[in-house]
A and B are shown apart, each in its own frame.
Chain A
Amino acid sequence: MKRDLFLFIGFAFLILLAPQLFSGGYLMNVLVFVGINTMLSIALNLLLGYAGQISLGHAGFFGLGAYLSGILSTSYGVDPWLAMPLAATVVGLMAFFIGFPILKLKGHYLAMATLGLGIIIYIVFNETVELTGGPSGLSGIPNLKIAGITFDSDVKNYYLIWTATLMVMLFSLNLAGSRVGRALRAVHDSEVAAQVLGVNSRILKVQIFALSAIISSLAGSLYAHTMTFISPASFGFNFSIELLTMVVIGGLGSIYGSFLGAALLTLLPEFLRGANDYDIIIYGGLLMAMVMYMPGGLVRGIPALFRRLVTTKKGEAGHA
């Protein structure tokens, strides 16, 4: 247990130190998005990696958080610090009530239902023009302010987003290691067995679905207040799939894996930009290779690769 704590503190230390290493510039801006995406993929990983319930509609919850907080603070003058928890509460309650009927479904049917949910939310953003500004988006969302500091630069936003992300990480690590985390994994492996052991799997699934939605909503609100502009295109079906890719590439059922997946998928396109029109092909090829050769995700694949390199080195040394 102590090792885990040290690992987290080390990780947090590195993250908070990062701006000193590469100060300013565009990379800070990208790292802000790594933070937001980490939060989102942790949210999805709790549901998919731990409880084994798929969702193809998480971009919808992300968007709801962004829009609710954005509309409340822009059109109704609510303080952003109040708008964020309000949005999270509404999204959480919504997910809770929708969760009951939806989570009765399994496998492909659950995927279809959550897919539909995401698309419905997306259509609502597009069609309620008076409220959301429709397809051309909602602009002029205020930045967050605390004690005279306005979070309006990339470096400030970096600390804001990553403080939130680290809190979500710590919470999720604790949750995963707790009785609830074990119950979730039991539901993942066999729902019947879990029920026999006294886990109320139905309630548990709904609770984790709602929790996942709340974290996504929080990430959405933070996104809205740092970007100061939102439009429905950012919350479409494609983004749900991208989140799913982050979770799978990073490693199912691993919080640090979520970070690795989010970091890789957010940073990779930036590094490939030099390849001009071939970037999409390289991107796709790399993802395919990773899924083929690291089926357990980066979090398990990288140590395995490292071990293999070490053993072959040792082997060579032995022969010589």
Chain B
Amino acid sequence: MKMKCFSLVCAFTTLLFSSTVFAAAPIKIGALFAVTGPAAFLGEPERNSAKMVIDEINSKGGIKGHKLELVAYDTTGDATKAVQLATKLIKDDKVVAIIGPSTTGETMAVIPVAEKEQIPLISCSAGSKITDPVKKWVFKTAQNDSLAVGKIYEYLQKNKLTTVSILTVSDGFGASGREQLKTQAAKYGITIVSDDTYGPKDTDMTAQLTKIRGTHSQAIICWGTNPGPAVIAKNARQLGIKTPLFMSHGVSSKKFIELAGEAAEGIKLPSGKVVVADMLSASDKQKKSLMAFVKDYQKHYKTEGDHFGGHAWDAVNLIKSAIENGAVTAAAIRDQLEKSRAFAGIGGSFTYSAQDHAGLGKDAFILVEIKNKDWMIVK
């Protein structure tokens, strides 16, 4: 009897050991995306893209024998939930890195957790303050608002437009944009003659636009995400405002053109290169990644990939190359991420360093104009 027990135990332990020795354990990567709720337009493409890349890596046999496992949770855009789920990812799922969250507010909430537990966090949200000042464990793939603002101001300066009206949405995205618009204006010799905000759920902005019309500014810059800016474009047309209208990269998806219809014509905005991937010259370093992403996304989800999904694509691929360089633990992945140089992704060409965890330059954005319901690169 005793002998039987002993041999059983032996067999069992051998079984246990063999399974851990032969198949390298999967590396768990956590993800927090706002798949439902008001920020779902960010979270859904992000989750889809992350899943797509991870599936692809695994179908090719993983990285150095390690399969990747994505543990993705829906934060519904709520900062409290994001913090709870980040804790869950770290303590229960034991992930080595976290991708997301989707919005700046959630990211700011999760940062203390990531810093304390020493897990690398690659945020997919745009707020400049995520990586400014630099935090040891926090990186981001979404382009800084400051770069987008710079792109618009550069164009204005070149075309000698010096007075602008700004109209920003009262949420994290708008507040951050508004701050950047105000701080950078002087550098480009631009005066902000009126500064208004609107609510994320407002359905009519004629009041603000009527006020702006009275200021005779030479350009209007609107900072928001769908659907607000589409309403503004329509209202501006109804009021017969001829002043050139600029939007943020928050609306650089086909959805905006659909929503605004005719009123979208002639609007200019800074955008990630993904919307004009096929128009880029072959010498563009990002072209290869961009075309692959667009093609894959179309194949998997039957819809166009946008730059929000691109942020998650970049994050997964940055982690992938860190693991390819031999990193398997959280600390090693962080160190490898910081060594990423000229990684040509969807959002731009990433070069992280100890002083820069945002990793992008002004070339991450191009200025596009909406013409005949499509994007045109503004030269």
Q: Is there a chain A Cβ closer than 8 Å to B79's Cβ?
A: yes
Q: Is the CB of B77 within 8 A of A233?
A: yes
Q: Mark B216-230, 1 if CB is under 8 A from A, else 0.
A: 000000000000000
**Interface hit among A88-96, A185-193, A224-232, A310-318:** A224-232
In the complex, what residues of A have CB within 8 A of residue B84's CB? 26, 29-30, 33
Contact partner, B108, options A126, A127, A139, A280, Cβ 8 Å: A139
Q: Is the CB of A136 within 8 A of B175?
A: yes
In the complex, what residues of A have CB within 8 A of residue B92's CB? 25-26
Chain B minimum-CB-distance residue to A24: B91
In the complex, what residues of B have CB within 8 A of residue A295's CB? none
Q: Is the CB of A234 within 8 A of B170?
A: no
In the complex, what residues of A have CB within 8 A of residue B79's CB? 137, 229-231, 233-234
- With known contacts A25-B92, A129-B175, A273-B73, A135–B80 Cβ distance under 8 A: no
Looking at A127, A136, A228, A273, the one whose CB has the most chain B CB atoms below 10 A away is: A136
| A127 vs B198: C-alpha distance when bound (angstroms) | 10
Shortest A189–chain B CB gap in Å is 37
Q: Is the CB of A137 within 8 A of B112?
A: no
Q: Is the CB of B112 within 8 A of A228?
A: yes
Q: Is the CB of A227 within 8 A of B83?
A: yes
Contact partner, B109, options A25, A30, A227, Cβ 8 Å: A227
Q: Is there a chain A Cβ closer than 8 Å to B266's Cβ?
A: no
Main secondary structure of the interface of B (DSSP, over half): helix
Q: Is there a chain A Cβ closer than 8 Å to B42's Cβ?
A: no
Q: Is there a chain A Cβ closer than 8 Å to B127's Cβ?
A: yes
List A residues 10-51 near B (Cβ within 8 Å): 24-26, 29-30, 33
Q: Is there a chain A Cβ closer than 8 Å to B105's Cβ?
A: yes
Q: Is the CB of A231 within 8 A of B171?
A: no
Q: Is the CB of A29 within 8 A of B175?
A: no
Q: Is there a chain A Cβ closer than 8 Å to B36's Cβ?
A: yes
Main secondary structure of the interface of A (DSSP, over half): helix
List B residues 27-44 near A (Cβ within 8 Å): 36
| A25 vs B94: C-alpha distance when bound (angstroms) | 10
Q: Mark B73-85, 1 if CB is under 8 A from A, else 0.
A: 1000111100110
Q: Is the CB of B105 within 8 A of A127?
A: no
- With known contacts A139-B108, A227-B80, A26–B87 Cβ distance under 8 A: yes
Q: Is there a chain A Cβ closer than 8 Å to B111's Cβ?
A: yes
In the complex, what residues of A have CB within 8 A of residue B112's CB? 139, 228-229
Q: Is the CB of B77 within 8 A of A136?
A: no
Contact partner, B170, options A135, A139, A227, A229, Cβ 8 Å: A135
Shortest A143–chain B CB gap in Å is 10
In the complex, what residues of B have CB within 8 A of residue A33's CB? 80, 84
- With known contacts A136-B129, A229-B83, A25–B91 Cβ distance under 8 A: yes
Q: Is the CB of A234 within 8 A of B108?
A: no
Q: Is the CB of B88 within 8 A of A234?
A: no
| A26 vs B80: C-alpha distance when bound (angstroms) | 14
Q: Is the CB of A231 within 8 A of B108?
A: yes
In the complex, what residues of B have CB within 8 A of residue A152's CB? 116
List A residues 241-298 near B (Cβ within 8 Å): 273, 280
Q: Is the CB of A139 within 8 A of B111?
A: yes
Q: Is there a chain A Cβ closer than 8 Å to B120's Cβ?
A: no
Q: Is the CB of A136 within 8 A of B36?
A: no
Chain A minimum-CB-distance residue to B77: A233
Q: Mark A129-162, 1 if CB is under 8 A from B, else 0.
A: 1000011110100000000000010100000000
Q: Is the CB of B108 within 8 A of A137?
A: yes
Q: Is the CB of B88 within 8 A of A26?
A: yes
In the complex, what residues of A have CB within 8 A of residue B87's CB? 26, 29, 154
| A134 vs B334: C-alpha distance when bound (angstroms) | 31
In the complex, what residues of A have CB within 8 A of residue B172's CB? 134-137, 231
In the complex, what residues of B have CB within 8 A of residue A137's CB? 79, 105, 108-109, 172
Shortest A115–chain B CB gap in Å is 15
List B residues 2-42 near A (Cβ within 8 Å): 36
Q: Is there a chain A Cβ closer than 8 Å to B104's Cβ?
A: yes
- 13 A-B contacts, Cβ less than 8 Å apart? A25-B91, A25-B92, A136-B129, A139-B111, A152-B116, A227-B109, A228-B112, A229-B108, A229-B111, A230-B79, A231-B79, A231-B105, A234-B78
| Given A29-B88, A229-B112, 9 additional A-B pairs, CB 8 A | A26-B87, A30-B84, A127-B197, A135-B175, A136-B108, A154-B87, A228-B112, A231-B105, A233-B77
